[in-house]
Amino acid sequence: MPFVKKHAALLALAVAVILVLGAAIDVDASKNGGIFSLKDISGSRKALDGVTIRGELSDGYQRTEFKLTDGRLDTHASWNGQPEWLGTSWTMRTGSKTIPGRFYNVQNEGGAFSLSSHDSDESGSSIGFFKVARVSPPLSFPEGVLYSNPLNYGVAVIGERVFYTVPAAAGVKGKGIIYEVNFYDWFGSNGMQSGEFASRAVVEYSLISEKDSDRGISVLGLEAVGDKLVLLTEEDETLRIRSYDSASGSLLGDARLPDFRADILPTNKSFYRASYLSDAEEQSNRLLLHFQNLSLTRPLLLSVNLTDGAEVETAVRMELGDEQEEDSFQGFTYARERNGKLYVVKTVREINEDLPGFYRLMLPLHAYIYVYEDSRLIYQGEFVTDLNDDSIELATRPDPSRGISEDPMRYRAFRNLAID
Amino acid sequence: MDILKGFYRLLNREFVSWTPFLACLLAGSLILPIMLINSAITDEFRSSYLQRYEDLYAASGSELVFLIAFVLLCLYFLVTIYARYWGSKSIYTYLTLPVGRLSLYWSKLAVFAISLLLLIGEQFLVYRLGYSIMAGRLSGIRLLNSGLTSEDINFLMNNGFYLAHVRSEFCRILLPLGFSRLLSSLCLFMVISTGLYYGALCERSRKFYGFVPVGISAYLVVRVLLYRMNEASHALNPTGLYPSSLLLLAFAVFFIVHGSRIIRRGAIA
């Protein structure tokens, strides 16, 4: 005991240091304790040769980065000193796409369509002043016929130039026009301004089907890839994809996908939802399109090559089966055409018809890789992760009707996907 | 060498005189949180709502126990300073001892720092033990309301302790992740221990202007702690912690330099 008494302070310091260092080592060592692997479901992993798929599974506090090169998976786990805000799938989307730092709203103001441009911050919420532009297309809307999609599906942006066409539903009379619009400051220094910022009609197109003059076409939306404009319409039960030069307005290409019907609120199970998602890849001049169908189990993925006119390279009508469905709440789909194959990373949710609607959002998510060649599935694999552990607290919540959160700070999600 | 030997002897003597209090404090802040966590888990099962461990820990009151223990330790530190002026008035003996007045200063400060470090280190033990208790109790349960059992769902998150640690603001302050956080926590630690001592020395030597820097540093400590307790909600407008850390460090150095000068000059007699 005299020894302990003589060196009590030093011994205590040693104990304290051991406790603190032990905890630090313990936490650091368990950093890589999460599960992250690739499980083959069908086909050969050889389909992944020649591509690198990278991304991360992250929340605001920590992340696991992964890199899948030629079918070999590497992961790296790390934590954040300062927690990061990562944004949600709710970040302000303009129609089918997210425009970095900006979003557009469109309103019908008694025949004139008014576009407002909002700057958005990292969290996706609107900040500061906004700008306004107006167009008055020669359209008349018969009783009960309006639009085929939310109005901002008609917005396309090329650099600082903004284009607009009205997503008119089939039956709307008049003439379809793609405008290049000019914005002015709302309540700018000169007060309200108008007239002096006239918009320019770039492209005119018919709203009547070419095959059957009694039927109209429905305009789904306008997209931009590089300096080309892409008009998506549904006519004669096909998806028509026309590409235009954004400066001259000349038609560059015209492609059709047969056997396609879309509606804003589909009633028939074989219909697709008109509110599609798009992803433009400028380097390779491609437009990736993603349509959900009513039952959420048979999505349509399209890769359109615009290098030489317009060509539907890959059209995949996916079959998710009876046990899982697309997740319109948190799910994501990322697709890229590489080496003549379409690579898709996608999360889908399990189905349980017995559960009430709210609880279904707590059912497990699965992250899959699909590889399609000539529109046929040649490989499917699953990223096996701990992703679903985050919803344990939700699954046991006594009253989920109070709302469930998609807090990106606390819930892991796949982010920053890239396929090279 | 003699000075160091004297300091070392004084340090251990001081520490031994703290041990009865310290033992009670450490025992209390080990047993109480474990009991609190345990009963919080029982409450969870009754309400069928399983929170994540970091939320459970905060909700159980264990963080509050740490705060109380921390305040008690600070108070005890002040008591040991003032006790030398009461009763036997041992301060006058100490000040005339041949060990050097600086040893007196440093030994007291070191004993407080070691005690604080022990208390903090113990929190990690509590956090770990609490997690093990929760993990143990989560297997083979049936939730009373929903009827869910651990066979339906694995209630325990894989690699959950790591996640509970990096997602807990409490742990992130005590055991920081990354250099800027580590520096910030160290500076907080230093300024709290030196500032407390400096305040007492100023009061004893009737240098009341010393309360001004103590007050400013206390304000800074509160600001930094408020930020770090809510780092997640500051994710959109994060502030660098280096300026505040350097300022705190400067205060700590000032407290040490001026505090030890007060002692050396015997102004506290």
Strand-strand pairing, A262-263 and A272-273: parallel
d(CA A303, CA A290): 9
What's residue B155's pLDDT? 83
Residues B154 and B234 in one domain: no
Tokens encoding A240: 């028509």
- Residue with the bigger pLDDT between A48 and A354: it is A48
Virtual CA dihedral for A126, A130, A135, A141, nearest 10 degrees?
Answer: 40
Report the relative pairing of strands A161-164 and A173-181 from DSSP bridges: antiparallel
Measure the CA–CA gap between A119 and A279, rounded to whole angstroms.
20
Task: For residues B115 and B66, state if they share a domain.
Answer: yes
DSSP secondary structure letter of residue A45: G
What DSSP string describes B114-159?
A: HHHHHHHHHHHHHHHHHHHHHHHHHTT-B-TTT--BTTTS--SPTT
Contact, B188 vs B221, CB < 8 A?
A: yes
pLDDT at A183: 85
In chain A, residues with a C-beta closer than 8 Å to the C-beta of B185 are none
Chain-chain contact of A8 with B19 (C-beta, under 8 angstroms):
yes
Yes or no, beta carbons of B49 and A31 under 8 Å apart? no
Q: What residue segments make up the domains of chain A, in order of their start?
A: 31-89+329-420, 92-274
Q: What local confidence, expressed as pLDDT, does residue B144 receive? A: 65
Interchain proximity B158–A35, CB inside 8 Å: yes
Residue A30 to residue B161, Cβ atoms within 8 A? yes
**Among candidates A23, A393, A410 on the partner chain, residue whose Cβ is nearest the Cβ of B175:** A23
Final residue belonging to a domain, choices B169, B185, B219: B169
Work out how many CB contacts closer than 8 A connect A with B.
Answer: 139
CA distance B91 to B268: 9
Q: For residue A16, give the nearest of B117, B145, B232 by CB distance.
A: B117
Q: Which of A244-258, A395-409, B210-224 has the lowest mean pLDDT?
A: A395-409
The answer on B90 and B49 residing in a single domain is: yes
With beta carbons under 8 A apart, name residues in chain A contacting B56: none
Asked if A26 and A19 count as a contact pair (C-beta separation under 8 A), the reply is no
Q: Which of A63, A122, A392 to mutate to test the interface with B (most CBs of B within 10 A)?
A: A392
Residues of B in contact with A5 (CB under 8 A): 12, 16
Q: Give the pLDDT confidence of A379-389 residue by residue, as tens digits.
A: 999 999 998 88
The pLDDT value recorded for residue A92 is: 72
Predicted confidence (pLDDT) per residue in A302-319, tens digit: 999 999 999 999 999 988
Per-residue confidence (pLDDT) for residue B98, from 0 to 100? 59
Q: What is the ipTM of this complex?
A: 0.90
Residues B18 and B150 in one domain: yes
Residue A211: predicted pLDDT: 83
**Model confidence over A334-347: pLDDT tens digits?**
999 998 999 999 99
Residue from B162, B173, B236, B239 to probe the interface with A (highest A Cβ count within 10 Å): B162
Q: Which domain holds residue B135?
A: 1-169
A238 CB-side CA count, 13 A:
13
Same-domain status, B121 and B180: no
pLDDT-flagged residues of chain B (< 70): 87-88, 94-95, 97-99, 144-148, 269
Of A128, A112, A242, whose CA–CA distance to A181 is shortest?
A112
Same domain, B146 and B233: no
Indicate the number of domains in chain B: 2
- B138, B188: one domain: no
Which residue, of B137, B169, B201, is where some domain finishes? Answer: B169
Task: Tell me if A18 and B153 make a contact (CB, 8 A cut-off).
Answer: no
In terms of domains, do B154 and B214 share one?
A: no
Q: Which residues of A touch B155 (CB under 8 A)?
A: 392, 396
